[in-house]
């Protein structure tokens, strides 16, 4: 059960990190276009 929880938490963190990367990537792209 503990392993399952850790796996789920790790997967959720990965998803959040991926979303943050996409958000920052979009911000960087828009800022580059403005420049």
Write out the residue range of the structural domain in which residue 15 sits: 1-29
- Is 35 domain-assigned? no
Q: What is the model's pLDDT at position 34?
A: 66
Report pLDDT digits (tens) over 3-35.
889 999 999 999 999 999 999 988 877 777 666
Domain membership of residue 19 (yes or no) is yes
Q: Is the pLDDT of residue 1 over 80?
A: no
* pLDDT given at position 13: 96
| 23 is a domain residue | yes
* Position 2 pLDDT exceeds 90: no
Distance CA 4, CA 25 (A): 31
Q: What is the DSSP letter of 1?
A: -
Please report whether residue 7 resides in a domain: yes
Q: From CA 26, how far away is CA 4, in angstroms rounded?
A: 33
Does residue 34 form part of some domain?
Answer: no
Query: For the chain, how many residues are written?
Result: 35
């Amino acid at each position: 059960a503990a392993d399952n929880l850790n796996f789920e938490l790790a997967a959720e963190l990965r998803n959040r990190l991926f979303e943050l990367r996409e958000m920052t990537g979009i911000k960087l792209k828009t800022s580059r276009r403005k420049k």
